[in-house]
Chain A
Amino acid sequence: MDASSMILILDLICEGVGVAAKHAELARRVRMGDIITDEEIKEARQEVAEAVNQWEESGKDQ
C-alpha cells in the first residue's frame, strides 16, 4: 500500500471516529435533557456547506 492510500484510509477512519464521537455526545445530551440550540443546528448546516464545497474543490485538482 502506498503512502497516499494509507493517508486516505486514515482520513476515512478519522472521519468515522469523529462522527461517532459527536453522535455519542449528542445522545448523552438528549438523555440529560439538554436543549440543542439554534446555533448548533446552524453550525451543522455550515459543516454541510463546507463539505459540499470540499467536494467541488476536489475536482479542480485533477
Chain B
Amino acid sequence: MEWLTNHYVEIFAIIGAVYSLARLIVNLTPTPADNAALDNVAGFLKVVGKVFGFDLTQGVNILPVYTKKNKGNVTVVLLLFIALMVPVGCATYQDIHKDPRAECVAAQETFAAIVRSLAAMRKEGVFNETSVEKISILISAGRDVLDDWHANVLAEIPVDTVSKSMFQSIISKLALYEKGGR
C-alpha cells in the first residue's frame, strides 16, 4: 500500500497512456462496439483520475524522465506522443472514417508522424541494432500497406478490412515498441 501511495503519479501516467493508445487504436477501427466498451472504461478512469487530480482525457499529465542513461522510459515517451495525438476525440475519427479519401490521408499522416518520431529517437541512440532492424521491418511493411491503400483510393477501389487491420497492427506495434535501447 505504501508503494502504491508513493508511485500513484507514475501509475496514473501509465494508465493514461495505455488508455490513450487504446483510444487511438479503437478510433482507427470503425467498430461502434469497441468504442462503446472503451467509453465505459473511460468513464471509470475519469472518475478515478479526478479523485487523484488528473484528467485522463488528456492522456499523460507528467513528462516522463528520459535520459540516455535511462532509456527504458522510451516506451512511455512514445506513448506520450500517442496520448497527445488522441485528444482530437472519437467523433473526429468517426467523421474521418466516413470518407475513404480522408481516412487514407489520416492513416498516412499518422504513420509519417510515428516514423519521424522514431527517427528522432534513433538519432538520440535510443534503439539498439536489433530494435532498429525490427522497427525497420515494421516501417517497410507499413509503407507497403499504405502504398496499396493509396493506389486503391485513387482508383476508387474500396480498401479491404484486412489491409486496414494490418495497418492498425503495424501502428500499434510501432507505438508499443519497448525493446528500444535495452
Contacts and interface: CB of A to CB of B under 8 A. Distances in A.
Interface in A12-39: 12-13, 15-20, 22-24, 26-31, 35-36, 38
B31 to A, nearest CB: 18
Contacts of A26: 96, 102, 105-106
B112 interface: yes
Interface string A36-49: 10101110110111
B88 A24 contact: yes
Interface of A, secondary structure class, is: helix
Q: Which secondary structure dominates where chain B touches chain A?
A: helix
A51 B81 contact: no
Contact of A55 (B101, B118, B147, B154): B118
Interface residues of A, number: 45
Given A8-B124, A9-B80, A48-B143, A40 B105 contact: yes
A25 B65 CA distance: 32
A11 B85 contact: no
Interface string B120-137: 111111000000100110
Contacts of B115: 48, 51-52, 54-55
Interface of A: 1-2, 4-5, 8-9, 11-13, 15-20, 22-24, 26-31, 35-36, 38, 40-42, 44-45, 47-52, 54-55, 57-59, 61-62
Interface of B: 63, 65-68, 77-78, 80-88, 91-93, 95-96, 98-99, 101-102, 104-106, 108-125, 132, 135-136, 139-140, 143, 146-147, 150, 153-154
